[in-house]
Structure 1
Amino acid sequence: MAKTATTAFVCQSCGEVHSKWSGKCAGCGEWNTLVEETVGGTPGGLAAPKAGTKRSGKTEFVALNAETETPARIVMGVEELDRVFGGGIVPSSATLIGGDPGIGKSTLLLQVAARLARNGVKTVYVSGEEAAAQIQERAKRLKVAESPVDLATETDLRKILSALKAAKPDFVVIDSIQTMWSDSLEAAPGSVSQVRACSQELTRWAKKSGAALVLVGHVTKEGNIAGPRVVEHMVDAVFYFEGERGHQFRILRAVKNRFGPTDEIGIFEMHQYGLAPAKEPSALFLSTDGDGEGGAAVYAAMEGSRPVLAEVQALVAKSAYGTPRRSVVGWDGGRLAMLLAVLEARCGISLSGMDV
């Protein structure tokens, strides 16, 4: 006998399921994130299958040493982007890209979609956040409005999958996964159940169709991609788009990549006509002040296969209190304490009464 659907309180930050409501999530410690959702009789919170339905078919096995043809990567034509992906995006793959609002995720992906479409790649761009006129206006500003990109503004997952099956594209952008919703669930769009179900269906379609799928995800105030962590396990690659709105540089960092390295970064520069690969990546990490200033040192850091020059700045002053302060930004506090201990023990520099 099938288990009937019930309701539970699901944390919208981490996906933890609670039997009753409480102000604080026991899983992640966030406040006021529990929302009542319908939980089906199947694992994962999906709706239970209707009574009387039968699924036929068999599973085919292949030998571990069987020769299979490896599809060629789709080269996107943006040097920094291809570097992070490991030489291009792989067909039948699902990629999740997250970043702060306004950081440039939609701008970069629209530029990539337009470039691929001009090179003969069947490209589809689906937006659930903006109207078609807004995207067309952005395309005119980026000088890519003449590219043959198939544009759709839809949030219904069933309609999107039907359109994708009919169009048979090679490259698909979903902007964003938090706006998609499935009519098989009663939860609201953006909830943990909807994000998980929509991601699973879109990823399954990408694996069967052979298309390269890119999902855009929102991030929380802590910088993590919003929704359940299981979404990051479903996809093949996870990238974070970092940077500040007032700064012209953006960094694309690989967190997970089944088809390439995870220590590579791509550095982009915001221009009038969109994002472009940075010509001098080291300029992001170096000060523009004069040379020879005290308290600053430049060293070469390896980011993947590329050396990047970075600057470390330090300030030491006498402490006005009994306990000196130790403050560090962009570095591990434990390593700072170890470095100060080495300076005192081996170099004879007394820092016990200094704020660092």
Structure 2
Amino acid sequence: MSGKKILFLVLLVFIPVSIAAHYLGWGDLIVFITASLAIVPLAAWMGTATEEIAVVIGPTLGGLLNATFGNATELIIALVALQAGLVSVVKASITGSIIGNLLLVMGLSMFLGGLRYKEQTFQPVIARVNASSMNLAVIAILLPTAIKLSSQGIEEKILQNLSVAVAVVLILVYALTLLFSMKTHSYLYDVGMAETVTEETDVKEQPKIWLWVGVLLVCTLLIALESELLVGSLEVATSQLGLTALFTGVILVPIVGNAAEHATAVTVAMKNKMDLSVSVAVGSSMQIALFVAPFLVLAGWVFGQPMDLNFNPFELVAVVVSVLIANSISSDGKSNWLEGILLLAAYIVLGFAFYFLPVAKSLG
């Protein structure tokens, strides 16, 4: 058993600990920390269950399943926060997930992979397609904020309606990217897909499918429970740690939700499978931008919790910077350890900026 799997098994102990901390009144800070640690292995098991089911049901349905549950943990946490009215944290977590995947995950992957291999390669065609999709997402989330800043006294209802319209367009684009990657141009993605498929036959895997479906459902329910504990303790814990809502949403929450995925991307990069590593990192950012963010806008409309795409201007700056540098480095289909350092440095600088940015500590 690998060290990563052992670590995830050990972290499962924080599930009962976090529940006990909540009901026994150990304090919001303890609940926040233990719930965060409990979510990490649950996200890992959810990802494993999704991959195992995908092997059995075939590449098309499997790809759709992976695309749907790829960022399920972040989506569940965001939905719980949205229902609690913590819209600013939801928006910050969207920003943090995008820049975290593009800078932190891809940076670590290129750096650690580059230490073992002088130069690593991946398909530049896929990189360009992903770059174009991210450019569209940046434009989509930039426009509502630009309208808000340029039109004094604009009604929130107008921004909400614009955001809903943009959200529908982005979800349609996301559906078309799935059609492109799984059907019309699936051959471009065959390398990355092949790496995720085990060498076991369907006959051997078939009896396990209901077991993995059960694991997926249990993990989803437990993540929803831990998300409730995390969100419920967030405001007090953040205050006790001396952190702003913006820093918590941009840095801490995405790291918790993406930890397992981060580990996977780095691990495969160190095995010289950079195609798969880049696919995980950039694909996750693209899913957040084209599916999770617009889905949350529509969910907010249903919940009666107005959620629009009018982001903090500095959050937009961070996203634009992240997309530009990630696109620049990945455009040639090659990577080395120095390029990884550049991405990590950009993430650290942005992290410092979010930490020192003098914004209100309120989470509403």
TM-score (norm 2): 0.24
* Structure with the greater alpha carbon radius of gyration: 1
Name whichever structure is richer in helix by fraction: 2
Between the two structures, name the one with larger relative contact order (CA 8 Å, sep ≥ 6): 2
Name whichever structure is richer in strand by fraction: 1
